A = this chain, B = another copy of it.
Amino acid sequence: MHVLITGAAGFLGQRLTHALLASGDLDGRSLSRLTLVDQTAPEVPSGTGVEIRARAQDITAPGAWDTVLDERPDVIFHLAAVVSSAAEANLDLGMAVNFEATRTLLDGCRARKLSSTRLIMASSVAVYGGQLPDTLDDMTALTPQSSYGTQKAMCELLINDYSRRGLVDGRVLRLPTIVVRPGRPNAAASSFASSILREPLNGEAAVCPVPTDLELFVMSPGRVIEALMHGATVPADAFGDYRGLMLPGITVSVAEMLDTLRELGGEEALARVRHEPDARIEAIVASWPARFATRKAERLGFMGDQNLREIVEAFLADPARHG
């Protein structure tokens, strides 16, 4: 089996690469070949027995997908994207990377008749926004309040239509906010959600820019990687008449996050969190819903975390926790 990962140099791309190599197969088929694409060439793990090619590629360039699609991947994990703050700051960049490159990827599959290629795209909780019911479900309208969410929602619709037409076998997984990300804070509006746990647990200071009663819908990196791989194995029919779904995150408040921080890191860890309200970040994050009935995902066998403590313990046990 030949697997292509876009955005392979990113946090999820690297983890997925390692998880696929550790597993050695996907959907009962042996992993024989792995193609890793990103803006800069992703690092190639050695001694794996799998043929791995890393490619540096601007996916917005004309013909960007030609070479990798000519090699006819069986599964494509499409993770490449610009993050929400970048898409908000630069509409053209977001449209080019988040939307147009997905469209050209779909058209590249179509032109090569890769109708049974499974395309798993990472979408986001940011497709929801504005005035929403208390608990969302699989039939809640996508009313994004950001350009990032808009671009992801448009990709969902397009992947759904191309799949309905039998041009590709697409699956769209809406990712909850990922907590705890290893590494450093980034430009994402949600960066604080990992930062207020990660930095204090690593002995560093962190800033909490939102009120403590703000709720988030979160999933650990480990569960997200499992979900992406599971997404490649679910039979196409099981998706019914729409190829997208929300992954089963869990609902946590910032207060609960800080409680868990104190439980696992002590008062000195908690004291490293400084509260500095940032209206811009709060406005973005507060527009993301935090409560979902994820029945479709559960019916299809996607698994969420048990609770926040389990998530933070997994982070503490992660060798990569310092980045």
A interface: dominant SS:
loop
A68 within 8 A of B: no
Question: A141 touches which one: B130, B139, B164 (CB < 8 A)?
Answer: B139
Per-residue contact bits, chain A 209-245, to B (CB 8 Å; 1 contact, 0 not): 0000000000000000000000000000000111000
Question: A154 touches which one: B130, B158, B242 (CB < 8 A)?
Answer: B158
Q: Are A240 and B131 in contact (CB under 8 A)?
A: yes
A144 vs B140: C-alpha distance when bound (angstroms): 14
Q: Are A157 and B160 in contact (CB under 8 A)?
A: no
**Which residue, A141, A147, A165, A240, has most C-beta atoms of chain B within 10 A?**
A141
Asked, given contacts A138-B141, A139-B141, A140-B139, whether A130 binds B240 with beta carbons under 8 Å apart, the answer is yes
**Which residue, A129, A138, A147, A242, has most C-beta atoms of chain B within 10 A?**
A242
Expressed in whole angstroms, the minimum distance between the Cβ of A237 and any Cβ of chain B is 13
Per-residue contact bits, chain A 132-156, to B (CB 8 Å; 1 contact, 0 not): 1100001111111101001001100
Q: Are A150 and B141 in contact (CB under 8 A)?
A: no
A91 within 8 A of B: yes
Asked, given contacts A129-B241, A240-B130, A242-B130, whether A144 binds B157 with beta carbons under 8 Å apart, the answer is yes
Closest 7 CB pairs of A and B: A130-B241, A150-B161, A143-B242, A154-B154, A139-B141, A150-B157, A141-B141
Can you list 22 A-B pairs, Cβ within 8 angstroms, ordered by A?
A: A91-B165, A130-B241, A131-B240, A132-B139, A133-B139, A138-B141, A139-B140, A139-B143, A140-B141, A141-B141, A141-B242, A142-B142, A144-B161, A145-B164, A145-B241, A147-B161, A150-B157, A150-B158, A153-B157, A154-B154, A154-B158, A157-B157
